[in-house]
Amino acid sequence: MSLTSEPRPPVEAGTVAVARLVERTTAEGPGERTALWVQGCTIHCAGCFNPHLWTFRGGTPTPTAEVLARILAAGTEGLTLLGGEPFDHAAPLAVLAAGVRAEGRSVLTFSGYTTAQLNRAVHNGRGDVAALLDATDLLIAGPYVAALVDRARPWAGSTNQEYVHRGDRIPPSAVAATPDRLEITVGADGTLAVSGWADDETLDALLHDLGRSARTR
């Protein structure tokens, strides 16, 4: 990612490229939340946790109104947006985020772009980026840097990433009170889905133990 990078040109607001939607999780922000991963990212951080979400091919194109209805029906405390890169999908995600906030719930948005890059995009006329920022209560911004693994703060991958509180629905006290969590869901077909964050060593050890447990049953 260059220092002049900006979010991908605006995409249609009526469709969301859904890679994964978890209706209830306690691993992707404070409280019980709904988490949405979008398919597609232009940043490509080395050591990214989700490199399979870089390509803009794949995912499930889903009407924005349908995704919003599913999020609201979950009845959780708020929405967490991940990817992929949310600001490469700013237009439809701004609609989702605004709809969630209109119901009194909070929005946490992750981004591999820095706040300077996002602010520059807004300055250059990106209304979709401005709209998603305006509908975000907590922004965790900046590229993942594998040499700067963050073992102190929840949710962030590396210490260079910024926590930007843009409203009072996710106050700093909520961040301080919430530990990192890792959720692993085993599907009916035996596939594993991981939510939350852990360093490579911890994740490898956990998945190794899960595989060993499965083989002994």
Convert the pLDDT of each residue in 115-134 to its tens digit. Answer: 999 999 999 999 999 999 99
The answer to whether the beta carbons of residues 64 and 15 sit under 8 Å apart is yes
Q: Give 164's strand partners.
A: 139
Q: Report the C-alpha gap between 214 and 132 in whole angstroms.
A: 42
Q: Report the C-alpha gap between 6 and 177 in whole angstroms.
A: 33
Q: Report the C-alpha gap between 150 and 147 in whole angstroms.
A: 9
The neighbour count for residue 120, using CB atoms within 10 Å, is 16
Nearest to residue 19, comparing CAs of 36, 43, 42? 36
Say how many residues make up the chain: 217
pLDDT at 215: 40
The answer to whether the beta carbons of residues 166 and 138 sit under 8 Å apart is yes
- Give the tokens for residue 214: 């499965």
Amino acid symbol at 80: T
The answer to whether the beta carbons of residues 74 and 104 sit under 8 Å apart is no
Q: Report the C-alpha gap between 89 and 85 in whole angstroms.
A: 7
pLDDT tens track for 181-194: 667 666 566 555 66
- Give the tokens for residue 132: 């998603």
What is the value of pTM for the model shown? 0.85
Indicate whether 3 pLDDT > 50: no
Long-range CB pairs of 175-178, under 8 A, 24+ apart, other chains included:
175/30, 175/138, 177/30, 178/29, 178/30, 178/154
Three-class SS of residue 196? strand
Proportion of the chain above pLDDT 70, given as a percent: 82
pLDDT tens track for 33-79: 999 999 999 999 999 989 999 999 989 999 999 999 999 999 999 99
